[in-house]
Structure 1
């Protein structure tokens, strides 16, 4: 058998991760037809089918899945070896793939994206916005950003700021026809804007804490006439007077400051672990990832008072 070419293996791995020639083409910069040809040539060389293909989906065969599990670590080692060459020049470089929810992107990354790209011109930053949960290893991500309570215990996680706090708020127009709630029980007579999780499809249940004991957190079943899976749309609905919104305080800080939203139930709103950048355990952190962590911590520290609570040090 002739030696298998690395580009063919890389093409196979990209399609396996995405389950799609089109999406894999977007990652690799190679056309879907070229990827398909590479994979077919690899199958012909190995004399085994790696994918089952239909007009709607591409899925690994049993043999293909076993092959992918063996090939993936080797490709990762090769990528690390290439990155190490860049690190010897003391210049963070290479593609850095990060998965994060839209709220983290808007609060942590977008405000400083221009400065990051200017400071690290050799890094190609790829952000995948996903409010659900992503398998970093299976999908080929270097890191993810999520709230601390959402991160699996086997991940290495570093904080990107301090704790965050919930805010419940509504527009002045809404309170012209509704009395302000004084306790969470009063929400039974209010229109509450609901958020639907992308992964589970469930509706988020509003969380509160006892005013005299912030550790006693409880959920409240709320009612309302509007549901969305997009936080920006939910806030816009609150601004339009559709109902009350329950969201991270930082996300509506400007609206609260200028009076477009009025805060209620302040004493009942809990604080909890803020955003963390997390990665699978690895012997050595690439310089490009360390650069991103240090940069985001620097920027977050400039807007959040107090010291961050560290979870686990990489």
Structure 2
């Protein structure tokens, strides 16, 4: 069936229910002559007369009555299904797929997701804990969470967490044995724990800044890992210096198991952002997530 035929049938049904070309035209927001033309076109296409006009009213022929009785339940069903789709769009439901890494998931995402899934049981979430920078469109993720400086420029980015800061830490026993570095350059003479990057596979260069001066240091040492918890454990055991996020080291700093050095070389930097492609109509569940995660200093 052609789309214009379906539209003509809807016009005919309006005339049949109103029993008036004038009232049907008013209900549909068009002219009486346009209604008459549509009905004549429909009658010509079907080869039967559907309506009989008198001076006072419009009457259905037998063929018109049969057509109207067929169309009423069909259009009612269409209306019901469209209303259900609208309700689905307005009600937060469905699955959200998010790529992130472990620290962001634990510190920023999970506190919000936990409440949201309790309040909206029709929402389900898939979290992919992966440190790689991936193409979220190609891998069919709804969104990703990364540090602000890692978000691609063609993505919409929403800040969801406070600024972060790095920390160089070591066990007291290590510092007693090897001393404390006074500047980042002195790290080349120290034992350091290297972090293997998940995306390119290279080793992370320790980044520092002071008074607008940026310094990157390629460190060396007895251990390379791809897990921060393992790095912290090795540092606590006195093996070497470690470079981690401040909040990851904080419990160990408070307990005295680790000591911080080079603090004045570790400025704050943009924290976690939720990013996603530009979409004009976002599902209700995703809009709810964005609003719940949006950082409010």
TM-score category, normalised to shorter length: 0.5 to 0.7
Name the counterpart of 2:94: 94
In the other structure, the counterpart of 2:280 is: 283
User: What is the rounded CA distance, in whole Å, between the counterparts of 2:112 and 2:241 in structure 1?
Assistant: 30
My pick for the range that moved more, 256-265 or 142-151, is: 256-265
4+ runs of 1 displaced by more than 6 Å? none
**Pairs within 5 Å for 1:237-252:** 237-252=234-249
**Equivalent in the alignment of 2:108:** 108
Q: Distance in 2 between matches of 1:83 and 1:196?
A: 47
Counterpart of 2:230 in structure 1 is 233
Residues 143-163 of structure 1: CA distance to partner in whole angstroms, max 9, x if unpaired?
Answer: 000001111100000001221
In structure 1, distance between residues paired with 2:204 and 2:241: 14
Q: Which residue of 1 aligns with 2:133?
A: 133
Q: 1:166 to 1:238 in 2, by over 3 A?
A: same
Q: Output the CA distance in 1 between the equivalents of 2:113 and 2:257.
A: 27
Query: Which region of structure 1 is more displaced relative to structure 2, 201-210 or 224-233?
Result: 224-233
Question: C-alpha separation between the residues in 1 aligned to 2:251 and 2:136?
Answer: 33
Which TM-score applies when normalising by structure 1? Answer: 0.64
Q: Distance in 2 between matches of 1:197 and 1:183?
A: 24
**Does residue 148 of structure 1 match 2:148?**
yes
Q: Which digits, 9 at most, give the CA deviation of each residue in 1:139-180, with x for residues without a partner?
A: 110000000111110000000122111111112232231211
- Contact 2:197 2:226 (C-alpha < 8 Å) held by counterparts: yes
8 A contact 1:184–1:265 mirrored in 2: yes
Structure 1 distance, partners of 2:252, 2:152, is 33
Is 2:158–2:294's contact at 8 Å kept on the other side of the alignment? no
Is 1:107–1:251's contact at 8 Å kept on the other side of the alignment?
Answer: no
In the other structure, the counterpart of 2:56 is none
Are residues 1:217 and 2:233 paired? no
- Aligned equivalents of 2:86, 2:162: Cα separation in 1: 32
Count of aligned pairs: 215
Residues 1:83 and 1:202: Cα distance change in structure 2 (over 3 Å): farther
Residues 1:261 and 2:258 are matched in the alignment: yes
Cα distance between partner residues in 1 of 2:272 and 2:85: 27
Shift of 1:137: 1.0
Unaligned ranges ≥5, structure 2: 1-83
User: Structure 1 122/281 Cα, relative in aligned 2: closer, same or farther at 3 Å?
Assistant: same
Specify the SS of the correspondent of 2:138.
helix
Are residues 84 and 154 of structure 1, via their aligned partners in 2, closer, same or farther at CA, if it must alter by over 3 Å?
A: farther
Partners of 1:254 and 1:208 in 2: how far apart?
Answer: 22
1:201 is displaced (CA, Å) by 0.8
Greater C-alpha Rg: 2
* Aligned residue among 258, 270, 276 for 2:267: 270
The equivalent residue for 2:68 is none
CA–CA distance in 1 between the matches of 2:236 and 2:137? 39
Q: Is the 8 A contact 2:100 2:129 kept in 1?
A: yes
Q: Given the superposition, is the C-alpha separation of residues 228 and 92 from structure 1 closer, same or farther in structure 2, using an over 3 Å criterion?
A: same
2:112–2:292 Cα contact (<8 Å) kept = no
Alignment partners' CA distance in 2, 1:216 and 1:275: 24
Offset of residue 111 of structure 1: 4.8
| Structure 2 counterparts to residues 163-242 of structure 1, below 5 A | 163-210=163-210, 213=211, 215-242=212-239
